[in-house]
Amino acid sequence: MPRLALFQPDIPQNAGTVIRLCACLGVAVDIIEPAGFDVSDRNFRRAGMDYLERAAVARHDGFAAFEAWRVRSGHRLVLVETDGACPYTEFRFEDRDILVLGRESAGVTPAVYAAADASVVIPQQPGLRSINVAAAAAMVLGEALRQTTRFPAMAGPRALEKEDRP
């Protein structure tokens, strides 16, 4: 199943939102430290709410440690960046992918670019810098889960019957 990694996140609320997203979708999250905040900070916990306990979160002490683990584990590194090589909707995602999102303030380092097996971009209007990292994570992760048919199964029928729809 695809995973999602946050490279040195700056904003606890965004990290908490991403962790909540991943908990709901059953996706593991990798936090590549150092973060720009104390991960026990109350703002981080507020954004993640009670979902933090339900999430599979792995913390890595720097990119070198993350990269060594990733290579040993056989994961493919897919960088989600504003200057990615391929629109994410045209990229073929695989179960072994780790989608990496960079710092809100500075993206990723040259070492992360060099290690990436691929990079994707969310096409957007010219002249705008970027989409919020949590929103970008939701968009790209949703497409990766769709392609790999890894969305969680629904527990039961949740759609309204035709006659119940407005």
Q: Mean pLDDT across the stretch 12-36?
A: 93
Tokens of 143: 């497409």
User: CA 95, CA 130: separation in Å to the nearest integer?
Assistant: 26
More confident residue, 160 or 34: 34
Q: Which residue has the tokens 């026990």?
A: 40
Reported pTM: 0.88
Amino acid symbol at 111: A
Q: What is the DSSP letter of 101?
A: E
Residue positions counted in the chain: 166
The predicted structure's pLDDT at residue 156: 55
Q: Which residue has the tokens 């072994």?
A: 96
CATH number of this structure's domain 3-164: 3.40.1280.10
Model confidence over 122-153: pLDDT tens digits? Answer: 999 999 988 999 999 999 999 999 999 999 98
The domain spans of the chain are: 3-164
Q: 3-class SS at 32? A: strand
Provide the terminal-to-terminal Cα distance of the chain, rounded to the nearest Å: 37
| Inter-residue contact 131 to 102 (CB < 8 Å) | no
Model confidence over 60-96: pLDDT tens digits? Answer: 999 999 999 999 999 999 999 999 999 999 999 999 9
More confident residue, 112 or 40: 112
Whether 12 shows a pLDDT value over 70: the answer reads: yes
